[in-house]
Amino acid sequence: MNPAPRHVTLAFTGASGMPYGLRLLECLLAAGVKVTLLASSAAHIVAKQELGLTLPARASELQAFLAERYQAQPGQLQAFGREEWFAPVASGSNPADAMVVCPCTMGTLAAIAHGMSDNLIERAADVAIKEQRKLILVPRETPYSALHLENMLKLARLGVVILPPNPGFYHHPQRVEDLVDFVVARILDQLGVAHTLMARWGEVNEEAK
């Protein structure tokens, strides 16, 4: 297994599923991982709609808000706007160890698949692919069209991890938060970040005996 990343780029886009992204951010910070956060304008709308959470529009204010909310260490969390091309993650000379787009719209996924790089989220993903760093996309859409599947297959063949937020039920979830943690646990596993969000398969069976 690859060593746990010390620095992860996390991007929020406008797909449904903001609870996954925020919980992932919380867990990464709690694990001591440095996080560069990128959020689209649509992600702010989704956060308000799904969670009643108003995220500050300015990157500096968003950084301060989330750092306080999740008790980040000084310098552990940095946030950048979609047009801040001087952000470190925009260059292959200073990439993060891994990147996660959670939640990921099909538009963002398509742009990444075709190397568009029209904003910082797409550019950071392009850097992750060209530098052969771990890139995880968490697409929240159903059903998938043939076009969606073709774009995902193209990315998978490049080594990108396609991780739809499909929770299991073998751990007998009791709350919505349990379903969120199931998906976040799978993302953390892919990153190699230790967690105790839920019992693993086999451990669940032992507990049920």
Each residue's pLDDT tens digit, 37-81? 999 999 999 999 999 999 999 999 999 999 999 999 999 999 999
Instruction: Give the containing element (helix H, strand E) for 103.
Output: strand 98-104
> Cα–Cα distance between 162 and 146 in angstroms, integer?
15
What was the pLDDT predicted at 205? 57
What was the pLDDT predicted at 4? 85
| pLDDT < 50 regions, the chain | none
How far from the centroid of its chain's Cα atoms is residue 154's Cα? 20
> Cα–Cα distance between 137 and 60 in angstroms, integer?
25
What was the pLDDT predicted at 203? 76
What was the pLDDT predicted at 207? 54
Burial call 47-62: b when 16+ CB within 10 Å, e when fewer? beeeeeeebeeebeeb
> What are the structural domains, with CATH classification, of the chain?
7-208 (3.40.50.1950)
What was the pLDDT predicted at 208? 52
Q: What is the pTM of this model?
A: 0.95
Rg (CA), the chain: 16
Instruction: Give the containing element (helix H, strand E) for 161.
Output: strand 161-162
Which residues make Cβ contacts (< 8 Å) with residue 124, sequence separation at least 6?
9, 11, 36, 38, 87, 89, 90, 95, 96, 99
